[in-house]
Amino acid sequence: MTINGWTQIAVFLAVILAITKPLGVFMARVFSRERTFLDPVLRPIERLLYRVTSVNEEHEMRWTEYCVSMLLFSGVSMLVLYVIERVQQWLPLNPQKFGAVAQALAFNTAASFTTNTNWQNYSGESTMSYLTQMAGLAYHNFTSAAVGIALAIAFVRGIARKEKETIGNFWVDMTRSALWVLLPACIVYALLLVSQGVVQNLRPYDTAKLVETQQVQKTGADGKPLIGSDGKPVMDTVSSQTIAQGPVASQEAIKMLGTNGGGFFNANSSHPFENPTPLSNFLQMLSIFAIPAGLTYTLGRMTGSQRHGWAVWAAMAVLFLCGVATAYWAEASGNPLLHGADQQVSALQPGGNMEGKEVRFGIANSALFATVTTDASCGAINGVHDSFTPLGGMVPLVNIMLSETVFGGVGAGLYGILIYVVLSVFIAGLMVGRTPEYLGKKIEAYDVKMAMLVTLVFPLIILVLTAISSVAKFGLTSISNSGPHGLTQILYAFTSMAGNNGSAFAGLNGNTLWYNTAGAFTMLVGRFFMIIPMLAIAGNLAKKKTVPASAGTFPVTTPLFTVLLVSVILIVGALTFFPALSLGPVLEHLLMMAGKTF
């Protein structure tokens, strides 16, 4: 670990702190339908959209109608994505002439992008046409993020409103998220990325003549080197390199800002065309946390308790720092099994565990990126999580297991942590023997039941499907690393999909019938079975009267509250997943220190 590495991490958190308030104020204005500086350009587009889609923007919805509209929109747009994938060979903008995406894979991908997961069982550069990437995948990056923000705002309204039956209009919230929050930022951000070297074109792949022609061993269909009849390996001459291109920057911008994380290329943000410089890397990490951080301020502003917003922010920052410190330490310590390699940090190299990491990012930025992308439900990667040290790789896994409440996904992070806030307030209420209150609203049996439904469905689906996959043949054949690491690969996959994260221990072959279908099911449950109870709580809270705060009210604005919230998140996560973690990464760490390989 170096001073420079810690400086980069500190600057990152400082910038997040600095943009929280301006972004939060802006979003509060957008969703209260107050004037913003973008109105002269965007209001006409918004009105036009409502006219062609017959939306009445003055109409207010109960939570049930809000929920049904959200489900209908997600369902219809998911179907459209599936169809685009299946017929891309007949559509334009397909210079590499890619064929239709196979059924199971197309279904998995459609579910994945609709749920803001962006789990990918395909390689973008050899599967998807430019049109599919733009109008299918990047489109869902916008809408799944806009839906997430809309839901978070609806939840905040539920807390803020008194004796009301309604929580807003889904179509208006979703449209305003896309038009005011996401689209303008993405245009500027995409161009910034292009200035750093992220490609943005529609040209066919280029072919370069290599500077030095290479003789390489030819490999057979099984991936093993071919041996000729004379017993010598069969050699192949490689004299050219085909360079994949595409409209990458426009997709990259919304991929990060919408905490989607689905790479244009297989290597995601470790690919030099997606993330060419340390500055592009810094911007990408910032854009993951930007909206979720801003939403904590929006929460404070819309509920009239700004200090509560900051108390939630502080809980997130504490958990973030714990994660990044662990990951940075573990990766900088290196892999003790690589005896001949110099893993010491010096002025000339960052050292550490460089397997799966890019030189331009080194250790600090790879550890930071891995923490940020899993604190939020982003799931983009700039290094291979599968090749992290056992404890370094456990950090992203644990982050997702904590329901991605550390800043979290756009929208999903806020309503995720508010579920924990409800639980924290409930526990505090039990401790003093009073009916718990949250910002003047009594938290009653119905609210707590719904909150528990969210916290129970999540581990249930992860642990059951991991257990099935780690004993059944159709689950085990996909593993690429033996020993405890194999279990971690499966556990990570279902955790990532249920948490709608999308990052992977990518050695696991997910493109099988089992993982495609079980995975799609997991992602859909992980998204919508969290949203429905959450909206039910919102609708229920909106109806309630407010009770004035008294001496017995547990304040949700103090450091004590922050500590309680952090503890509840950690205890729920630890109690649920500790046994599985100890059989995976913890065991692997101990065996690695003992010099064991698999």
Partner 1 sequence: MKKNLITAMLMTAATTVLLGIIYPLLVTGLAQAMFPKQANGELIYARDGKLVGSSSAGSSLVGSRLIGQTFSGPGYFHSRPSAAGAAGYDATASGGSNLGPTNAQLITRVNGDVAKLRAENPGKNSDTLIPVDLVTTSGSGLDPDITPAAAEFQVHRVAAERKIPEGEVAQLVRDHTENRQWGFLGEPRVNVLELNLALDARYGRSH
Footprint of partner 1 on 383-402 (CB under 8 A):
383-384, 386-390
- Residue 344 near residue 335, CB atoms below 8 Å: no
- The reply on whether position 359 binds partner 1 by CB under 8 A is yes
Window of 149-157, 244-252, 292-300, 536-544 that interacts with partner 1 by CB under 8 A: 244-252
Which residues, listed in sequence order, are joined to residue 240 by a DSSP beta bridge? 209
Candidates 18, 208, 432, 472: give the one binding partner 1 (CB under 8 A): 208
- The reply on whether position 267 binds partner 1 by CB under 8 A is yes
Q: Three-state SS for 516? A: helix
The HSE-up count of residue 175 (CA atoms within 13 Å, CB side) is: 22
What does the alpha-carbon distance between residue 111 and residue 510 come to, in Å, rounded to a whole number?
Answer: 14
- The reply on whether position 216 binds partner 1 by CB under 8 A is yes
Window of 22-30, 111-119, 190-198, 468-476 that interacts with partner 1 by CB under 8 A: 190-198
Which residues, listed in sequence order, are joined to residue 216 by a DSSP beta bridge? 236
Candidates 18, 41, 45, 87: give the one binding partner 1 (CB under 8 A): 45
Least distance in Å: CB of 191 to partner 1?
6
Least distance in Å: CB of 122 to partner 1?
12
List all residues 6 or more positions away from 361 whose beta carbon is below 8 Å from its beta carbon: 270, 278, 281, 369, 382, 383
Footprint of partner 1 on 109-168 (CB under 8 A):
123, 125-126, 134-136, 138-139, 142-143
- Residue 262 near residue 120, CB atoms below 8 Å: yes
Candidates 4, 103, 435, 567: give the one binding partner 1 (CB under 8 A): 4
- Residue 120 near residue 502, CB atoms below 8 Å: yes
What does the alpha-carbon distance between residue 112 and residue 286 come to, in Å, rounded to a whole number?
Answer: 23
Candidates 162, 307, 449, 596: give the one binding partner 1 (CB under 8 A): 596
Least distance in Å: CB of 4 to partner 1?
6
* Per-residue tokens: 278: 């340390």
Least distance in Å: CB of 229 to partner 1?
21
- The site map against partner 1 for 473-502 (x = CB under 8 A) is -------xxxxxx--x--------------
- The reply on whether position 53 binds partner 1 by CB under 8 A is yes
- Residue 369 near residue 247, CB atoms below 8 Å: no
The HSE-up count of residue 284 (CA atoms within 13 Å, CB side) is: 37
Q: What is the DSSP letter of 265?
A: S
List all residues 6 or more positions away from 68 whose beta carbon is below 8 Å from its beta carbon: none
Phi-psi sector, 489: left (phi>0), alpha (psi -120 to 50), beta: alpha
Candidates 17, 18, 41, 72: give the one binding partner 1 (CB under 8 A): 72
Query: What is the longest distance spanned by two Cα atoms in the chain?
Result: 89
Phi-psi sector, 271: left (phi>0), alpha (psi -120 to 50), beta: beta
- The reply on whether position 107 binds partner 1 by CB under 8 A is no
Give the Cα-Cα-Cα angle 179, 183, 189 (nearest 5 degrees). Answer: 155
- The reply on whether position 44 binds partner 1 by CB under 8 A is no
Candidates 13, 15, 19, 49: give the one binding partner 1 (CB under 8 A): 49
Footprint of partner 1 on 572-591 (CB under 8 A):
588, 591
Candidates 294, 351, 396, 526: give the one binding partner 1 (CB under 8 A): 351
Footprint of partner 1 on 550-569 (CB under 8 A):
none
* Per-residue tokens: 206: 């280029």
Candidates 108, 259, 284, 382: give the one binding partner 1 (CB under 8 A): 382
- The reply on whether position 97 binds partner 1 by CB under 8 A is no
Q: CA separation (Å) from 297 to 290, 291, 300, 306, 313?
A: 11, 10, 5, 7, 8
Candidates 279, 468, 563, 583: give the one binding partner 1 (CB under 8 A): 279
Least distance in Å: CB of 338 to partner 1?
5
3-state secondary structure 540-558: HHHHCCCCCCCCCCCCCCC
Least distance in Å: CB of 46 to partner 1?
11
Q: Three-state SS for 133? A: helix
- The reply on whether position 54 binds partner 1 by CB under 8 A is yes
What does the alpha-carbon distance between residue 107 and residue 101 come to, in Å, rounded to a whole number?
Answer: 9
Element (H or E) spanning 496, and its range? helix 484-498
Closer CB to partner 1, residue 85 or residue 125?
A: 125
Closer CB to partner 1, residue 28 or residue 186?
A: 186
- The site map against partner 1 for 424-463 (x = CB under 8 A) is ----------------------------------------
Least distance in Å: CB of 530 to partner 1?
21
How many residues make contact with partner 1 (CB under 8 A)? 138
- The reply on whether position 91 binds partner 1 by CB under 8 A is no
Least distance in Å: CB of 578 to partner 1?
21
Footprint of partner 1 on 412-431 (CB under 8 A):
none
b/e for 526-539, b at 16 or more Cβ within 10 A? bbbbbbbbbbbbbb
Question: Taking Cα atoms as reference points, which of 131, 75, 139, 72 lies closest to residue 101?
Answer: 131
Closer CB to partner 1, residue 6 or residue 521?
A: 6
Closer CB to partner 1, residue 501 or residue 562?
A: 501
- The reply on whether position 592 binds partner 1 by CB under 8 A is yes
- The reply on whether position 239 binds partner 1 by CB under 8 A is no
What are phi and psi for residue 358, nearest 5 degrees? -90, 145
- The reply on whether position 18 binds partner 1 by CB under 8 A is no
Candidates 57, 60, 355, 444: give the one binding partner 1 (CB under 8 A): 355
Question: Taking Cα atoms as reference points, which of 326, 322, 316 lies closest to residue 367?
Answer: 326
